[in-house]
Structures are given as C-alpha cells and as structure tokens.
Chains A and B, each alone.
Chain A
Amino acid sequence: MDGPDEIIHQSLRLRIMAALHAARGGEGVEFNRLRALVGATDGNLGSHLTTLAGAGYVSLEKDFVGKKPRTRASISADGARAFRAHTDYLRGILDSAEG
C-alpha cells in the first residue's frame, strides 16, 4: 500500500471500522450499540457510516423489530481488506521509525 486510506484514517471512521472488523461474521452491529462502542453521537455516526457505505466499506441493513426501526452495520469484504491494508500501513510507519 502506497499511502494511508484517507476514508478510513479519520478518527471516528477508524473506530467504526475497528468495531465492525472485530464483529465481522455476525449479523451486523446495531446502530445504538455501535454508537456506544465508538463513542459517537447519533448524527456523527450516521454521517460517517454513510461515507463508509458510499466507499463500499460498510453495508447498512434496515428492518423492523416489532414496530421499532433497526439499522445494522457490517463490514464488507472490500472494507475488511482496506482496513487490514490500512493497519498494515500504520504498522509499517512504526517499523520504519524503529528500524
């Protein structure tokens, strides 16, 4: 990887991707749960999720539990690949600095 992934590197989006990457393989993370895990406000989280979904890194699924709307987010295969590449890039910076 030549440079950082500028979409992922923003602080809140980095935390969102880290949470979704850690929870991959499940049924997605509910919006409220994700908000608590990454320490975001409703508006902030919604806006950054839209950015990540637009890049194809995250998929959003909306349904109803009874009468309550529910939004679940999960990381896509492209998103998982990009996240791993970005963390490898960050580790590379540290390795270069130490070497």
Chain B
Amino acid sequence: MAISPTQAAAALDEIEATEQRTRAAGGYAIASPYLILWGVLWTIGYAGCAFAPPARWGLVWLPLVLIGAGGSAWLGGRAPKGRRGEGGALARSMAMAAAIGAFIGAVYYVFRPAGTLPYLVFPALIVGLVYTLAGTVARLPRFAWIGVAIFVLTMAGYVALPDWMALWTAAVAGGGLVLGGLWLRRV
C-alpha cells in the first residue's frame, strides 16, 4: 500500500481532530457534574437573594458555598479513574475558585458599590468570563459558549430588568450552569 503525501496529511489531520474531540469529551465529562451542582446552588442562592434582605445574603450563601465545596470534593473522590483529570485537578480547581472569590471580594472592597445590584451581577459576569477564557485557552468550545451565554444574558438583565436581577441571575447564571452541565454530558 503506497500512501501519498496528501493522503498522509489527511490521515494526520483526521488523527489530530479525533484526539482533540476525545480530549474535549473527557474534559466535559469531568466538568459536567460540577456545573450541575454549582448551577443548582447558584439558582437557590440568587433566588434566596430575591426574597431575603441584603443584610441576610451572607447567611443565604454561606451554607451553599460549604455544600458546594463539600459536594465538589465528594464528586472528585467518586469519579472513576481516568475521569478525575490530571493529578491535583480538584485542588487546582479549588485554588482557582478561592482566587476568583478573593478577586471579587477585593473589587467590592476597593470600589464599594453604592447599591445591591453590582453584588448580584459581578460574580455572574466573572464566572462568564472565566468559562469563556478557559474554553478558549483549553480548546473546549462548549465552555466558551456557556461563558458567553452567562455573560451576555446577565448583562441583558442588568440593562433591561434591574428590579428582577436576583431572579434573573438565578435563572440565567444558575440555570445556565445546570443546562451547560447537561449539555457537556452529551458527546
């Protein structure tokens, strides 16, 4: 069997595309349950903000964040070998989440928002940005689409529905993460 340079190039392209698709599917399978978990918690948290006074928002979020951290550790432990990502992936994700939380807190401290609206909007925008960047850098396009959708819909709510922002964010950020997590389960 003789293989021409054109056929060899086509075969190598096919290999590269299949390997990239397989790696992406593996990454999506790892991330999917985390997105669903945090999406549910965000939906509950933001919906809670719609009904609780701002002074109680910390009490709404504290148990949810603890549940999320515990749930993430549990998911990391029960994932089958080969779906846990590279060594220390969970620890790196936790460190990244802590860095993002610290960044958001620092921005609030420095800029001291006058009303409550920025407290609702800013975390969702940052999460949208993080998923967009992660998807672009790691060549995981579905992450990027999830990030873009959360970012754009959050901004749309900020402009058009500021009085309903807590419920809107619950729907588009929390719901967006849940739907995104379900989408990632599909190859």
Find residues 54-89 in chain B having any chain A CB closer than 8 Å to their own CB.
80-83
- List of B residues within 8 angstroms of A33 by Cβ: 25, 187
**Contact partners of A38 in chain B: CB under 8 A:** 18
Q: A9 within 8 Å of B by Cβ?
A: yes
Q: Contact between A15 and B14 (Cβ–Cβ < 8 Å)?
A: yes
Query: Are B82 and A22 in touch, CB under 8 angstroms?
Result: no
Q: What 0/1 pattern do residues 23 to 53 of A give for CB contact below 8 A with B?
A: 1011101000100111000000000000000
Chain B residues within an 8 Å CB radius of A15? 14-15, 18
Please give, as numbers and ranges, the residues of chain B lying within 8 Å of A14 by CB-CB distance.
11, 14-15, 18
B8 touches A90 (CB 8 A): yes
B interface residues (Cβ-Cβ under 8 A, vs A): 1, 3-5, 8-9, 11-12, 14-15, 18-19, 21-23, 25-26, 80-83, 187
Residues of chain A touching chain B, judged by Cβ–Cβ distance below 8 Å, are 3-4, 6, 9, 11, 14-15, 18-19, 21-23, 25-27, 29, 33, 36-38, 87, 90-91, 93-94, 96-97
